[in-house]
Amino acid sequence: MGVRPLVRRARTVFLRLLSGDNDSVDGETIEQRIVRENRSAGKGSWDGSVDAPRNHSGSGSWNEQQPDENVQHGVQDVQAVTMTWSRGTLIAIFINIWFLYFVNAFQATISVSLNPYVTSSFKAHSLSAVPTAIGDAFAASTYLPMAKMMDVWGRAEGFLLMIIFLTVGLVLMAVCDSFEIYCAANAFYYIGFYGSEYAIDVITADASSLRNRAFAYAFTSSPYIITAFAGPKVADIFYYDISWRWGFGAWAIITPIFAAPLYIMLKYNLHKAQKEGYRVRRPSGRTFLESIWHWTVQFDLFGVLVFTAGLILFELPFDIADYAPEGWATGYIIAMLVVGFSMLFFFATWERWLAPVPLLEWRLLTDRTVVGAVLLDATYQLSNYCWSYYLTSWLQVNNDLTISTANMVNNIFDVISGVLLLSLGWAIRATGRYKWCLYIAIPLYILAQGLLIHFRHPNMSVGYQVMCQIFLAIGGSIFILVEQLSILAAVGHQHVATSLALLNVVGTIGDSTGLTISTVIWQNTYMKALLRYLPESAMSNLNNIYEDLKTQTSYPIGSPVRLAIQKAYAYSELRLLAVGCGIMVLAIPWTILIKDINLKKKVQVRGTVF
For the segment 121-148, what is each residue's pLDDT rounded down to a tens digit? 777 766 666 787 788 778 888 888 898 8
Cβ-based burial of 567 (10 A; exposed 0-12, middle 13-18, buried ≥19): middle
- Answer yes or no: are the C-beta atoms of 304 and 148 closer than 8 Å: yes
Over range 498-502, report the average pLDDT: 89
Q: What is the distance between the alpha carbons of residues 589 and 245, in angstroms, rounded to a whole number? A: 45
pLDDT band with cut points at 50, 70 and 90 for residue 84: confident
Residue that wins the pLDDT comparison between 581 and 52: 581
Of the ranges 63-67, 110-114, 156-160, 291-295, which one carries the lowest mean pLDDT score? 63-67
Cβ-based burial of 285 (10 A; exposed 0-12, middle 13-18, buried ≥19): exposed
pLDDT of residue 244: 79
Q: What is the distance between the alpha carbons of residues 494 and 68, in angstroms, rounded to a whole number? A: 9
Residue that wins the pLDDT comparison between 383 and 34: 383
Number of Cβ atoms within 10 Å of the Cβ of 529:
18
Residue that wins the pLDDT comparison between 431 and 67: 431
Of the ranges 243-252, 274-283, 347-356, 571-580, which one carries the lowest mean pLDDT score? 274-283
pLDDT of residue 507: 86
Q: What is the distance between the alpha carbons of residues 234 and 238, in angstroms, rounded to a whole number? A: 6
Over range 99-122, report the average pLDDT: 83
Over range 233-252, report the average pLDDT: 83
- Answer yes or no: are the C-beta atoms of 563 and 458 closer than 8 Å: yes
pLDDT of residue 568: 92
- Answer yes or no: are the C-beta atoms of 152 and 74 closer than 8 Å: yes
Residue that wins the pLDDT comparison between 51 and 205: 205
pLDDT of residue 209: 87
Residue 35 has pLDDT above 80, yes or no: no
| Model pLDDT for residues 262-287, shown as the tens digit of each residue | 999 999 988 888 887 777 676 767 88
Residue 54 has pLDDT above 80, yes or no: no
| Model pLDDT for residues 505-517, shown as the tens digit of each residue | 888 788 778 877 8
Residue 485 has pLDDT above 70, yes or no: yes
pLDDT of residue 65: 64
pLDDT band with cut points at 50, 70 and 90 for residue 378: very high
Over range 100-121, report the average pLDDT: 83
pLDDT of residue 448: 93
pTM, entire model: 0.79
What backbone phi and psi angles, to 5 degrees, belong to 48?
85, 175
Of the ranges 1-10, 44-53, 247-256, 454-463, which one carries the lowest mean pLDDT score? 44-53
Q: Which helix or strand (DSSP H or E) is residue 1 part of?
A: none
Mean pLDDT of all residues in the chain? 81
Over range 311-321, report the average pLDDT: 81
**Start-to-end Cα distance in the chain:** 28
pLDDT band with cut points at 50, 70 and 90 for residue 435: very high
pLDDT band with cut points at 50, 70 and 90 for residue 295: confident
Torsion sign over Cα 200, 206, 210, 211:
negative
Helix, strand, or coil (residue 563): helix
% of the chain with per-residue pLDDT over 70: 86
pLDDT of residue 280: 66
% of the chain with per-residue pLDDT over 90: 29
Q: What is the distance between the alpha carbons of residues 474 and 444, in angstroms, rounded to a whole number? A: 8
Q: What is the distance between the alpha carbons of residues 217 and 418, in angstroms, rounded to a whole number? A: 10
- Answer yes or no: are the C-beta atoms of 34 and 48 closer than 8 Å: yes
Greatest alpha-carbon span in the chain? 90
pLDDT of residue 451: 93
Q: What is the distance between the alpha carbons of residues 304 and 390, in angstroms, rounded to a whole number? A: 34
Helices 246-275 and 73-84, axial angle in degrees (round to 10): 80
pLDDT of residue 166: 94
| Model pLDDT for residues 575-605, shown as the tens digit of each residue | 999 999 999 999 999 999 999 888 888 776 7
What backbone phi and psi angles, to 5 degrees, belong to 31?
-60, -45
pLDDT of residue 4: 42
